[in-house]
Structure 1
Amino acid sequence: MNLLKPLAIFTFVFLFYQNISAQQRVWTLRECIDFAMDNNVSIKQGNLGLEATKIVSQQAKLSYIPDGGIQSGYQLSMGRSLDPTTYNFIENTYVNSTNISANIGTTIFDGFRKYYTVKRSLSEIKVSEIEVEVLKNNISLSITRFYYNILLNKEVIASIENQINISNASIAKMSRLVEEGAAPDEQLQNLLMQQQNEIYSLTESKGMLQASIVDLCSLLNIDNTDGFDIIQDDDTDMYLENSIENIINSAMTLPQIEVVNQKLLSAKYAIKIAKSDLYPSLSFNSSYSSSYSSTRRQVAFDENGTPIIVDGAIAYKNYPFINQIYDNRTAIFGFNLNIPILSAFHVKKKIQLSRNNFKQLQYEVQNVEKNVKDEVRKLYIDVQTAKEKYSTSMAAVDHGTKIVSYAENKLNNGLTTITDYIIAKNNILISEAQLSRAKYEYLLKLKILKFYYTQCIY
């Protein structure tokens, strides 16, 4: 008891500091995915499901072991009772009886049911293993999406903050001009309105950033998001070197395709299991038993082996427990043959259902392969489109930056209106937001497309 209390305190402190460390560290994409593999609740559930499948397989293998056991019973009878050792009725007396037995039985032939059940259980283990891999891949892709969404929101926030700083500088200049009477107050108010609009956008973007962090932390199974932060992924390669044909060929080995093929194999074994009920079954069983009764007596013999006679009747003596158990031994050996006749109609329907399920899975294999191919083709086009959008957005930001600079100089020299300046600032803010979205859309889609080729996020 004294040892448990310090151990509990140590465990609590360890978990507490581990959670604090997880909140305060700066995460890379690789670290996020690795952490989720050990802590995500869905993955933990998937691993438990895999363990359950393994247990079912072990049960199937144990079916080859013969059934056997030992039984023993005690009974007290009063009144008119049946002696279990002589099968004679005894009136108005107490009868103590004991029986002991051991039995063993096994199936000799069952149409190979046990064999194919074991085969199917091993196939189901493979299915569960691949399903866990599919789950891990899906979670990794979701983490990647949330990760890049956080980076996008952070970049948008930085862009807005930069525009706010520019607005603050413009407001400071305009305030001096208004105080000196060199500019009307209307221009200052327009700049202040523009500043508030930018602050509004900043607040909105910060809310979107926090929502993205919550989504990512949910997959990592981190409750407290305070202090959680990420850094830019090291893999910033923005070039695609593989053809779409190579990517599709590689994608055909993805776990989601492998799992339906494995389910197809399992369904094939299910058909063989159903067919096994059409065959006769042969089983063997044996038992060994004995019994004891307190009312049973043993003939008394003299030294010469002659029964002792008392008052003209044969004399009896007590029949010891050990002697009765030894003398009442019974051994039974038997074979049971079961030939299905009328039940064959029911079995044939089971076979039809199994074959129907097998055909459905064949179509599912084709459907999954088609969906993966279509997804790769669509993603390949999306990557090309996102690349063009990214290139166009960079050019737009470059032009917009120059326009804002020109507009600011003209405004300071009184060569343009405040409205034109605000329009230029709004346009650059929109262009920078579009550039950020195009950049991370391209990076995300490119990384997912590379995943189809390499089957690895990083």
Structure 2
Amino acid sequence: MKKFFGIAVLVGGLFIQQVYAQDSATGNHLLTLQQCVETAIKNNAAVNRAGFQSESNEVNLQQAKGNRLPFVNGAIYHGINQGRSIDPFSNGYINQNISFANYGLNASISVWNGAAIRNSIQQNLLTFEAGKMDWQQEKDNITINVILAYLSVLNNQELLNASIKQVAVTRQQAERLDLLNKDGAIAPATYYDVKGQLASDEINVVNNRNTLASSKLDLAQHMNIAYDKNMELQKINESLTPVLYDATVDMIYEQALLQLAFVKAADLRKQSAASGVKAAKGLLTPTLSLNGSLGTNYSSAASLQKLLSTTEAQTDSYVLNGASKLPVIAPQGNYETQKITYGNQWTNNFNSSISLSLQIPILNGLQAKSRLKQAKITEKQTTFEANTTKIQLRQNIEQAYLNMSAALDRYTQLQMQVQDFTESFRSAEVRFNAGAATVVDYIIAKNNMDRATINLIAAKYDYVLRTKVLDFYQGKLSY
């Protein structure tokens, strides 16, 4: 958190009217700040991981919502029995090979479970929203890093341009003294002192050029693209007017609470944890469910006897007629065994059921109670994190505001210093050219002016940085 704030959230209001421009002189395409940020967001691994996590959270939310729907399962069984087995049609023992099939459809829906499902949906919804804020925060993080790198390139480019101008001034003086030295009009030491100063200025150019290349490499790495030493950046069209920021710390803090993604994420996680506690409590209550089922079966042994004809035949029974036994004649049917068709068995064996069940948790290995305790701990932790986030936010806004005020004072003083040292150098140069001042006086005056100019460039970017930090806290940044 502190590292994040320390990076200082430089999110650019530096996103100012960026277009994909073309340099007419060189023909090179300029990279705008918007392009750099968009490229970095697209290529950044952390941003993509946060995006995947957001998608995963959405799936979890859909699953939680799905728990409100009935649980429906179908089952189909086909098999063959050999030897002695139970006929699924008659439920009696048979000793033959048979094929069989069972079909079933079961459904169950929770009627009441202590609002555990409803609170679980709310918990996952808030987690999903927090995940989207995390995704946005990762985008903000890479945006900050890109803007820091972008400003660094612009700053180093200006430093390089300033050092090149300093070399030009010194070279012009060295060339003038070279002619005077050849004519014997000056002491050789004067010429060589200025020539040594020229070498120092040229070394500064080399150092600044290397620093610029390094900052371009850093920007390319943040964008996750190949390094191009010819990379050109469009300058930020900033009309720099050093004035005190037009909002107080309290105003900035109130806006930050409403705008910053990581603050919203912390609050959403706190709310999600509270719903998690309610969902865990629901698991300790009885669950009332409505159940239903449909089923049928088939057996290859299923058959029926079809009556073909009837004849009269003597039976083993008799009646007594005095001392005589008279046989009993009774009708006897002639039957044909016929297999019951698959379709008829499907219809004849069809069955259905409906029921209500009440499941009362009595002892489940302390799972429900442990889950409730963990949910309460998570609620305490997320509440602490949310409060800590806001405290740190307030502290960093106060520090950023103080830094802005200090940067403003430094920039204002350096502006006056540059004016003074520029005038001092102009006077020293006139006197030196006229032979009224020593080379030491000239070099000192020039170094003072050069140093003040370099410091002013750094102060300018420092002031822009501090004001854009405060803009970011209030959500005032736009492309």
TM-score normalised to structure 2 length:
0.82
Identical aligned residues as a percent: 23
1:330 is displaced (CA, Å) by 2.8
SS of 1:26 mapped into structure 2: coil
- Deviations for 1:146-203, whole angstroms, at most 9, x for unmatched residues? 2222221111111100110011111211211222122344433333332222222222
Distance 2:127 2:283 in 1: 21
Q: Note if contact 1:140-1:457 (Cα within 8 Å) is conserved in structure 2.
A: no
SS of aligned partner of 2:111: strand
Match of 1:434 among 455, 461, 465: 455
CA distance in 2, matches of 1:385, 1:360: 37
Q: 1:282 to 1:24 in 2, by over 3 A?
A: farther
- Contact between 1:407 and 1:420, CA under 8 Å: does it hold in 2? yes
- 8 Å contact 2:89–2:301 — kept in the other structure? no
Bigger mean CA deviation after superposition, 122-131 or 420-429: 420-429
* 1:433 CA displacement: 1.4
Match in the other structure for 1:157: 160
Q: 1:307-340 CA deviation, whole Å, 9 max, x = no partner? A: xx99999653222222222222232333332111
1:289 pairs with 2:292: no
Q: TM-score normalized by structure 1?
A: 0.85
Q: Residue 170 of structure 2: which of 164, 167, 171 is its match? A: 167
Query: What do the CA deviations read for 1:51-77 (whole angstroms, capped 9, x no partner)?
Result: 332222122212222122332222123
Residue in structure 2 matched with residue 43 of structure 1 by the alignment: 47
Cα gap change, 1:272/1:100 in structure 2, threshold over 3 Å: closer, same or farther?
same
Q: What residue number does 1:280 align with?
A: 286
Q: Counterpart of 2:137?
A: 134
How many Å apart are 1:90 and its aligned residue? 3.3
1:293/1:89 Cα in 2 relative to 1: closer, same or farther (>3 Å)? Answer: same
Q: Distance in 1 between matches of 2:103 and 2:351?
A: 10
In structure 1, the residue matched to 2:99 is 96
Moved more, 41-50 or 126-135: 41-50
- Name the structure where helix makes up a greater proportion of residues: 1
Partner of 1:409: 430
Supply the distance in 1 between the matched residues of 2:363 and 2:36 (Cα, whole angstroms). Answer: 61
Q: Distance in 1 between matches of 2:250 and 2:116?
A: 44
Q: Which residue number in structure 2 is paired with residue 114 of structure 1?
A: 117
Q: 1:418 to 1:235 in 2, by over 3 A?
A: closer
Given the alignment of the two structures, is residue 244 of structure 1 paired with residue 265 of structure 2, yes or no?
Answer: no
Residue deviations 1:84-123, cap 9 Å, x none?
32343433x4322222222222222222111111111221
- Alignment correspondent of 2:264: 258
2:221 and 2:227 in contact (8 A); partners too: no
For 1:12-411, list aligned pairs within 5 A.
24-33=28-37, 36=40, 40-91=44-95, 93-238=96-241, 239=243, 240-253=245-258, 254-302=260-308, 315-343=336-364, 345-411=366-432
AA partner of residue 261 (structure 1): D
The one-letter amino acid paired with 2:442 is Y
Closer, same or farther: CA 167–20 of 1 in aligned 2, 3 Å: closer
Structure with the larger strand share: 2
Q: CA deviation at 1:48?
A: 3.3
Larger radius of gyration: 2
Counterpart selection for 1:420 from 416, 424, 441: 441
8 Å CA contact 1:154–1:209 kept in 2: the answer is yes
Unmatched 5+ residue regions in structure 2? 1-19, 313-329
Instruction: List alignment gaps of at least 5 residues for structure 1.
Output: 1-18
The 10-residue stretch of structure 1 (435-444 or 286-295) with the greater mean CA deviation from structure 2: 286-295
User: What letter is aligned with 1:333?
Assistant: I
CA deviation after TM superposition for structure 1 residue 37, in Å? 5.3
Does the CA contact (< 8 Å) of 1:100 and 1:291 recur in 2? yes
Give the whole-Å Cα distance in 1 for the aligned partners of 2:77 and 2:351.
16
Distance 1:457-1:213 versus aligned 2 partners, 3 A rule: farther
* Alignment partners' CA distance in 1, 2:104 and 2:407: 79
Match of 2:319 in 1: none
Q: Secondary structure at the match of 1:234?
A: coil
Q: 1:290 deviation in Å?
A: 1.8
